[in-house]
Amino acid sequence: MESFENSEKLKKYTNNKLTIEDFTIIKVVGKGSYGKVLLVKKNDENTIYAMKIMKKHSMVKKNQVDHIKTERRILELIDHPFINKLQYAFQTESKLYLVTDYCPGGELFFHIQRVERFNEGAAEFYAGQIILAVEHLHKNNIIYRDLKPENVLIDRKGNIKITDFGLSKENIIDNKSAKSFCGTPEYLAPEIILNKGHGKPVDWWSLGNLIYEMLTGIPPFYCKDNNLLFDAIINNEPEYPEYLSNEVIDLIQKLLIKNPEKRLGSNGADEIKNHVFFNGMDWKKLLEKKIKPPFIPKLKNAVDTKYIDPLFSKAIPEDTPVDTYENLDEDFNGFSYNK
């Protein structure tokens, strides 16, 4: 493993002296505008984790400081079976490190592409676990705002974990307090596009999109031209293939109601859980992971990445050094965390 900043600097930025040198880097399992995600082993535990690495100067330049602080707080605060959990956080002079559970089943997006579309039983299972996760966030007055197949991971036993809370918003108690224009274009709710203020119903709109995509292979609104896409989201209705059941069409239609006050879920997750599509669901057993998942990863070992996009897993696994440093201490005070 390469040498990083000298030990005196490392001590200044760590909690209980936790550093990158406490981990062995194995593979790359994700990349984005923020940085990358590495598969790592914590040396003294022999435990496998996912490590998200972000460059401080890049976060500052892109005005992402508040977003990463929010993600860091939520990951520590929230403890739920279907939400990715923070295990460690630390920093150096130039970088931020978030260490969370590793989900070797990969992204839901990977599996939708692999099989083209899910059957309704599989969609019911995954949607049910997502509903329980989002319900928990909403009870803590957090809106997620980035629900999409890429942010839903599958763990070793086939259950889901929601990840990436960089666009989440805390202290939202109504349907219009949040004002930021943010999210993935195909999944944006009309009220976000129209800049009317938004709240918890935006997550249920995204759920409707996600259920549709699981069952058809594509989002209900899709266009490379964002202006045309946004116009369709505001004014159009999706087309429903004939192979979809009346029950799931009704569910999706009610989740994709343009008016957030009338959208299914606007008065709480029970509205969705009580829909006829979920009539056979035992929500208690689902929460306790006592329902067999539709897909269980077949793994050779703890570091198997067969369900990770090869675009990531074939990249060189390293924590690349940063050539220039800035004095950014004040922007990231309190970031470190050791369970």
pLDDT tens, position by position, 275-288: 999 999 999 999 99
d(CA 82, CA 129): 7
Q: What is the pLDDT of residue 64?
A: 84
Least confident of 5-19, 25-39, 132-146, 316-330: 5-19
Which two structure tokens, joined as six digits, stand for 82? Answer: 């279907």
Q: Domains for the chain: give ranges and CATH numbers.
A: 7-104+302-331 (3.30.200.20), 108-287 (1.10.510.10)
How much is the average pLDDT of 114-138? Answer: 97
How much is the average pLDDT of 155-168? Answer: 94
Q: Which of 22, 101, 146, 319 is catalytic?
A: 146
How much is the average pLDDT of 303-311? Answer: 89
* pLDDT band at residue 13 under the 50/70/90 scheme: very low
Least confident of 6-10, 58-62, 275-279: 6-10
pTM of the model: 0.90
Q: Residues 99, 48: contact at Cβ < 8 Å? A: no
Is the sign of the CA dihedral 332, 334, 338, 339 positive or negative? negative
Enumerate long-range contacts of 239-246, CB under 8 Å, 24 or more apart: 241/216, 244/120, 244/215, 244/216, 245/120, 245/277
Indicate if 146 belongs to the active site. Answer: yes
* pLDDT band at residue 17 under the 50/70/90 scheme: confident
Residue type for 6, please? N
Q: Residues 269, 134: contact at Cβ < 8 Å? A: yes
Q: Residues 204, 263: contact at Cβ < 8 Å? A: yes
Hey, is 101 helix, strand or coil? strand
| 161 strand-pairing partners | 153
Q: What is the pLDDT of residue 321?
A: 76
